[in-house]
Amino acid sequence: MAPSLLTTPSQALALAPGAAASRVGGGGGGSARVSFPSGRVQRRGALGMRVRASVAIEKETPESEPPPTFLREDGSGAGSGSVRERFEAMIRRVQGEVCAALEEADGSGARFVEDVWSRPGGGGGISRVLQDGRVFEKAGVNVSVVYGVMPPDAYRAAKGEAGKNGAAADGPKAGPVPFFAAGISSVLHPKNPFAPTLHFNYRYFETDAPKDAPGAPRQWWFGGGTDLTPSYIIEEDVKHFHSVQKQACDKFDPSFYPRFKKWCDDYFYIKHRNERRGLGGIFFDDLNDYDQEMLLNFATECADSVVPAYIPIVERRKDTPFTEEHKAWQQLRRGRYVEFNLVYDRGTTFGLKTGGRIESILVSLPLTARWQYDHTPEEGTEERKLLDACINPKEWLDL
């Protein structure tokens, strides 16, 4: 299976080695309507939209309001009951629910600023960002729907075929392959050093038949995960977080949590530091070896688990007293977060290299971070305890 991602809130997609998204279109009509629990979104004015348009990719068109759907009006689009339609409805619902929960937890009256954009050939996205709240220094919750075309090599990789020079092992050279992808991605950075950072991302990828091979089988897969990055280990919080991930996984397959927990520890590895970015969670990609309906339900369950996994932790820690030393350590750990995202995260690096929507790509970065020369926490300190757990991942639950 080809590596596929929508791991940043942008349209960045790593389709396969050497693959690139092209003519990823936006804007659509359709009849499928999505309801949003939070109607309290602060919208940018026309000036803000013009400024945003001047720095975004040419193909993007700012919109004043989210359309009912970003899907094209075709057999797999709005009103079809397809996995595409249901996945888009799910991620837009979850975006609204997560934003509403975060605004309530913040308690300052701060609201998410929303940017909506579309593309002429179908697709688009909704970026929501809250900055400088009482609890959250920066929180981004983005959704995007992408249409594009990938090289034939990527399609054959997805099918597991081994060919050379653009030709399949048992046939002539294939043409470009249309694809569809949709995802939700979020990173939440609280102010209090004892309240952890959270990242979650869930995505669905699907190809159509190559343009010169109508009727060829459609390829699809799911990816995603939710992971926790604290500055200090509070075992009650970490165990609560992992237990919610395990509960979501166990509803579908008891092998999922240990399998995806290890995958998470392996993926969020900062090689040049020999550390993990945080204390893990679950992560999976290219998942298509189960029934499609089951995996759609699994991705939905995981996305719906974000609020119960995270908000209780924030509520417990958002008012914990802290010192300047605690804050300085949080800033150093945020530096590690930046390093991973800009050096190793496949969605971020792909988006930067291929002209992705820069504001959406970099929304995952914290508002502030710190790098200090040759800093090593002393043995026996809480800071050292966190570092050791990032170097040597732990099992947080009794499996």
Of 189, 199, 242, 326, catalytic: 199
DSSP state of 22: -
How many C-beta atoms lie closer than 10 Å to residue 200's C-beta?
25
Q: Is 375 a catalytic residue?
A: no
Structure tokens at 322: 């802290």
Q: What is the distance between the alpha carbons of residues 95 and 142, in angstroms, rounded to a whole number?
A: 7
305-116-345 Cα angle (round to 5): 55
C-alpha to C-alpha distances, 58 to 25, 26, 52, 349, nearest whole angstrom? 11, 12, 11, 20
Q: What is the distance between the alpha carbons of residues 358 and 66, in angstroms, rounded to a whole number?
A: 20
Q: CA torsion sign, 98 to 100 to 101 to 107?
A: positive
Q: Which amino acid is at 274?
A: N
Three-state DSSP class for residue 159: helix
Q: What is the distance between the alpha carbons of residues 100 and 94, in angstroms, rounded to a whole number?
A: 10
CA dihedral 21, 344, 84, 178 (to 10 degrees): 20
Nearest in space to 228 (alpha carbons), one of 277, 291, 156: 277
Structure tokens at 134: 């009482």
**Helix or strand run (H / E) with residue 206:** strand 197-207
Nearest in space to 219 (alpha carbons), one of 231, 232, 205, 233: 205
Q: Phi-psi category of 143—alpha, beta or left, where left has phi over 0 and alpha has psi -120 to 50?
A: beta
CA atoms within 13 A on the CB side of 362: 9
Query: How far does CA 69 lie from the centroid of its chain?
Result: 20
Q: What is the distance between the alpha carbons of residues 150 and 143, in angstroms, rounded to a whole number?
A: 21
Three-state DSSP class for residue 387: helix
Nearest in space to 171 (alpha carbons), one of 210, 131, 129, 227: 210
List, by residue number, the catalytic residues.
199
